[in-house]
């Protein structure tokens, strides 16, 4: 950690030491529990999981909270959930703790039972809850947990806590938030019991209190026991801050060492992990409210992306520590870089929530960090022989390839035919609330300039130019072949495509039709609405934004509706003319919509192999990257570029 504290005076509170019980922490930055699905299907620790957490410990975070860990096989959410409900899991978890400790990190294990959010088809057992109210996500009707069942579950938490002690972890956290079992008991929305575990606040908090008391009876008095709560569930009948203050005091009296203040439940999941459409620091007021009534430390969370914001939260006394979750997925070295004053070197999280979507589909990935789950490969990879590398195209794929290859020691040149770097991503970052995407593009450009020998814009990559350059390897990241959708009239009526519409918004007129309500069409619609234009979006599928992660798709749909856009789904455009479109809606006759000053058409993004064949005899290695290989998202583009660079 040499040099780590050189410039920490910029953030004196954030980089001051702290203590929770017996755990001494080098700074106030917390990595909260976030699923990775990097364990194996039985819930055992893997090499990938260890490497992922070790990398973040090396980056200088105050302490790490390992993702939700199962105390009961019936309470597993899926096969990506780590387990601690039996002694056979101790060996792997001990190895995880030891590896984190070797690099100076501190590790807390989060204990959880999913309750009615567990999946019967996966666990093979019926799901349980405080009351027989279906899950808003799975629609499964749970069994009401009996009084004996409550006691048995308390015991499972206590036994799991004993295993946490055995593995040598620095502390434990009880997951009492986000609509899982303990949260379900706390909430008046999901707990309508009439026995001692229901009713008023004290009754609904009894289960949580008994868990804390049972654990505290079996662990040292000063061993950190942290409770994570949803202080506001953002639903009509759910918990609100004032009642959560009472719950926080109950947990403190029961023996909690700290309160980690989050928000939301399964019903309000679109706000739970705030994407770029929600404000930075959107839940901090909840931590401040809880801190006003308890004496134990309070941990804040809620889209905290920048060290400056974390410092401000601490200096204003709204919390004692700050969780920076997705920001540490994006850049595990964020604490180290911030402490050394290297803010421009921090790889920014763009809050796109592809990480959340990826976990539901498989293992964790990140749009801006292509190395998630592969940290061990990078550690063991030998340094390659330096090559003369030409990257053609300065979009996300090309920039990622150039920066990664340069960092590995290759001699890299980048050619871009346009005047500016960024490709189509430059236009995507122009849409409202996409400022962080622009910051990421600026980061990629800085990194490329840092490592590339030379970057040339307004440079066309012809076969002769590439032959004259004589590279060892060529990475073709020059984008896709874009073609208008095959609609009668589309080629003859001076239509705009998405990129053009972003760059020439003042020339579109007042009334604009957008054919194609995918991610590009929706974001263009939002952009044009912000410019005061009247927008009609026509989408042939049943919903807007297919291809976006669920969280931003939910929010942009609301933004478009609130902004006054006319939205036509299940609608196919069958003809385009000067200022009009003809559409077919399911079950209706064709309709002519007219009076448009401009019509924008989404393009088909097709692979672009135009230079592959002609330059095969020029370079030993030729690669296609990003949209040139297949039209996809920025995540795939950045990942493509980095993976190709690692192959060189």
Q: How many CA atoms lie within 13 A of 304 on its CB side?
A: 30
pLDDT confidence of residue 1: 44
Q: Which residue has the higher pLDDT, 51 or 137?
A: 51
pLDDT of 492 > 80? The answer is: no
Rounded Cα distance between 547 and 567, Å, is: 17
List of residues 6+ apart from 601 with CB closer than 8 A: 484, 485, 487, 490, 495, 496, 497, 515, 516, 576
pLDDT one-digit tens code per residue, 507-560:
999 999 999 999 999 999 999 999 999 999 999 999 999 989 999 999 999 999
Nearest C-alpha neighbor of 365 from the set 582, 75, 635, 69: 635
Say if residue 393's pLDDT is above 90: yes
Is the pLDDT at 190 greater than 90? The verdict is yes
Distance between CA atoms of 79 and 70, rounded to whole angstroms? 11
Q: How confident is the model at residue 586 (pLDDT cuts 50, 70, 90)?
A: confident
Q: What is the pLDDT of residue 2?
A: 41
Binned at pLDDT 50, 70 and 90, residue 249 comes out as very high
Is the pLDDT confidence value at 156 over 60? Answer: yes
Neighbours of 240 (CB within 10 A): 15
Residue 455: CB atoms within 10 A of its CB come to 19
Is the Cα torsion angle 207, 209, 214, 218 positive or negative in sign?
A: positive
Q: Average the pLDDT over 218-225 and give the result.
A: 97
Quote the pLDDT of residue 8. Answer: 60
474 vs 543: CA distance, rounded Å? 40
Residues 6+ apart with CB under 8 A from 125: 73, 74
CA-to-CA distance for 10 and 321, rounded, in angstroms? 17
Per-position b or e across 202-217, b if 16+ CB within 10 A of its CB: ebbbbbbbbbbebbbe
The overall average pLDDT reported for the chain is: 94
Q: Beta-carbon neighbour count of residue 334 at 10 Å?
A: 29
Question: What mean pLDDT is predicted for residues 288-308?
Answer: 98
- Which residue segments constitute the domains of the chain, with CATH numbers given? 8-376 (3.20.20.70), 382-480+607-647 (3.40.50.720), 482-605 (3.50.50.60)
Query: Residue 9: which pLDDT band, with cuts at 50, 70 and 90?
Result: confident
Q: Are 56 and 328 in contact (CB under 8 A)?
A: yes
Query: For this structure, is 451 an active site residue?
Result: no
Task: Return d(Cα 420, Cα 445) in angstroms, integer.
Answer: 10
Band (pLDDT 50/70/90 cuts) for residue 6 is: very low
Which of 67-71, 157-161, 209-213, 573-577 is least confident? 573-577
- In percent, the amount of the chain with pLDDT more than 70 equals 98
Q: What is the pLDDT of residue 111?
A: 98
Mean pLDDT across the stretch 486-499?
81
At 382 the pLDDT is 80
Mean pLDDT of 181-208: 98
Looking at residue 427, what is its pLDDT?
87
Q: What is the C-alpha to C-alpha distance for residues 96 and 169, in angstroms, rounded to an integer?
A: 9
Q: What does the pLDDT average to over 263-284?
A: 95
pLDDT band at 212 (very low <50, low <70, confident <90, very high): very high
Top-confidence residue, 469 or 484: 469
120 vs 452, more confident: 452
Check pLDDT > 90 for residue 589.
Answer: no
Residue 381, pLDDT > 80, answer no
| Rounded percentage of the chain residues whose pLDDT exceeds 90 | 84
| Total Cβ atoms within 10 A of residue 315 | 12
Q: Which of 52, 53, 63, 180 is catalytic?
A: 180
Residues 574-594, mean pLDDT to the nearest whole number = 89
3-state secondary structure of 426: helix
pTM: 0.94
Name every residue whose Cβ is closer than 8 Å to that of residue 312 and which is 6 or more positions away in sequence.
none
Interval 41-51 mean pLDDT: 96
pLDDT at residue 486 in the model: 80
């Amino acid at each position: 950690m040499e040099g780590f504290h050189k410039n920490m005076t910029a953030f004196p509170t954030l980089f001051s030491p702290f203590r929770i019980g017996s755990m001494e922490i080098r700074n106030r930055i917390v990595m909260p529990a976030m699923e990775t699905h990097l364990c194996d299907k039985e819930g055992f620790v893997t090499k990938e999981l260890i490497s992922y957490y070790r990398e973040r410990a090396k980056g200088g975070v105050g302490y790490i909270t390992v993702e939700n860990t199962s105390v009961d096989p019936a309470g597993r959410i899926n096969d990506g959930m780590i387990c601690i409900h039996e002694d056979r899991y101790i060996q792997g978890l001990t190895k995880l703790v030891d590896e984190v400790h070797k690099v100076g990190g501190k590790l807390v294990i989060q204990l959880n039972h999913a309750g009615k959010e567990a999946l019967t088809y996966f666990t093979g057992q019926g799901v349980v809850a405080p009351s027989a109210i279906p899950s808003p996500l799975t629609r499964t009707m749970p069994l009401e947990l009996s009084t004996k069942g409550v006691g048995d579950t308390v015991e499972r938490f206590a036994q799991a806590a004993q295993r946490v002690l055995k593995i040598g972890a620095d502390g434990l956290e009880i997951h009492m938030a986000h609509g899982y079992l303990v949260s379900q008991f706390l909430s008046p929305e999901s707990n309508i019991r009439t026995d001692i575990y229901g009713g008023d606040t004290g009754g609904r908090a009894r289960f949580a209190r008994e868990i804390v008391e049972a654990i505290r009876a079996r662990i040292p008095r000063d061993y950190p026991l942290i409770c994570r709560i949803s202080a506001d569930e953002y639903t009509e009948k759910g918990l609100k801050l004032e009642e959560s203050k009472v719950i926080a005091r109950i947990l403190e009296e029961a023996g909690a060492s700290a309160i980690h203040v989050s928000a939301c439940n399964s019903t309000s999941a679109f706000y739970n992990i705030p994407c770029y459409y929600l404000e930075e620091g959107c839940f901090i007021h909840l931590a401040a409210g809880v801190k006003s009534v308890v004496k134990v430390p309070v941990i804040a969370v809620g889209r905290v992306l920048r060290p400056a914001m974390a410092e401000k939260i601490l200096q204003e006394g709204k919390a004692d520590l700050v969780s920076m979750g997705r920001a540490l997925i994006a850049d595990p070295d964020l604490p180290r870089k911030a402490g050394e004053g290297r803010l421009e070197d921090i790889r920014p999280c763009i809050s796109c929530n592809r990480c959340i979507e990826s976990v539901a589909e498989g293992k964790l990935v990140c749009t801006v960090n292509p190395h998630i789950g592969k940290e061990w490969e990078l550690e063991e990879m030998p340094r390659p022989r330096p090559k003369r590398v030409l990257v053609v195209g300065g979009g996300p794929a090309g920039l990622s390839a150039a920066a990664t290859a340069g960092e590995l020691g290759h001699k890299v040149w980048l050619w871009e035919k346009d005047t500016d770097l960024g490709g189509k991503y430059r236009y995507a970052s122009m849409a409202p609330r996409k400022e962080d995407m622009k910051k990421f593009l600026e980061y990629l450009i800085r990194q490329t300039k840092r490592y590339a020998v030379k970057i040339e814009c307004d440079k066309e990559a012809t076969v002769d130019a590439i032959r004259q350059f004589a590279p060892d390897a060529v990475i073709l990241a020059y984008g896709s072949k874009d073609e208008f959708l095959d609609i009668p009239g589309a080629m003859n009526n001076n239509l705009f495509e998405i990129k053009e519409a972003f760059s020439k918004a003042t020339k579109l007129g007042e009334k604009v039709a957008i054919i194609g309500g995918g991610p590009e069409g929706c974001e263009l619609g939002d952009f044009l609405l912000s410019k005061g234009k009247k927008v009609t979006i026509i989408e042939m599928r049943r919903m807007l934004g297919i291809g976006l992660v669920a969280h931003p798709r939910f929010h942009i749909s609301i933004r478009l509706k609130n902004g006054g856009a006319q939205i036509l789904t299940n609608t196919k455009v069958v003809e385009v003319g000067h200022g009009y479109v003809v559409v077919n809606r399911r079950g209706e006759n064709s309709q002519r919509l007219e009076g448009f000053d401009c019509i924008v058409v989404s393009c088909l993004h097709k692979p672009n192999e135009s230079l592959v064949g002609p330059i095969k005899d020029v370079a030993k290695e030729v690669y296609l990257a990003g949209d040139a290989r297949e039209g996809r998202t920025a995540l795939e583009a950045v990942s493509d570029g980095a993976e190709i660079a690692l192959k060189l």
